[in-house]
Amino acid sequence: MEYLSLPLLLREGYLDRVGLHESIMYSVGLILSTRPGTLPFEPGFGCDIWDKEFSDLYTANKAELRSSLRNAIDKYEKRLTDVTVTLVEVGAGAHETLGVGVKVNGNYRDNGEEKKFEATFHLG
């Protein structure tokens, strides 16, 4: 099955299509990059990481933060199961920006076959 690619770009009269893994990756990325209350038709969509100050991310309860992110993904990306979220180091070198890395693991079914999902998202 094919899914629409994000962002939606019209090329030669058609919208780009992607497979299931890429569709889930775009969906999770959208959840993680959206502040709740941004979408008027779904006010709860997104994750509350954006309600924290940048400096708070380093002093916040990591377990609570991971749980909050996992709950947002569980709620809005039903194709993923057994979701785990890990916060990963993001470099702050000369050519790297500060931010938070979020590694998401889980499982999904594609044509009846169980598959592993893993993606890392840079927020900030």
- For residue range 15-73, what is the model confidence (pLDDT) as tens digits? 777 889 999 999 999 999 999 999 899 999 998 877 765 555 566 677 888 898 999 99
Q: Where are the alpha helices (DSSP H) in the chain?
A: 20-32, 56-59, 62-76
Count of domains observed in the chain: 1
Task: Determine the structural domain holding residue 66 and report its residue range.
Answer: 3-123
Write down the pLDDT at residue 65.
84
The two tokens of residue 58 are 């380093």
What CATH number has the domain bearing residue 73?
Answer: 3.10.450.40
pLDDT of residue 96: 59
Q: From start to end of 65-112, where are the E strands?
A: 81-88, 100-110
Query: Could you report the per-residue pLDDT of 89-118, keeping only the tens digit for each?
Result: 776 655 655 667 899 999 999 999 999 999
Q: List C-alpha distances in Å: 6 to 10, 107, 115.
A: 11, 21, 22
pTM over 0.85: no
Query: Which pLDDT belongs to residue 3?
Result: 72
| Res 121: pLDDT | 92
Give the residue from 40, 39, 36 showing the smallest Cα distance to 49.
Answer: 36
- What ranges in 52-117 are assigned the alpha helix state H? 56-59, 62-76
Residues in CB range of 47: below 8 A, 6 or more apart: 31, 32, 34, 36, 68, 69, 72, 73
Q: For residue 56, which of 45, 68, 42, 46 has the smallest C-alpha distance? A: 68
Task: Give the angle subtended at the CA of 105 by the CAs of 103 and 108, to the nearest 5°.
Answer: 145
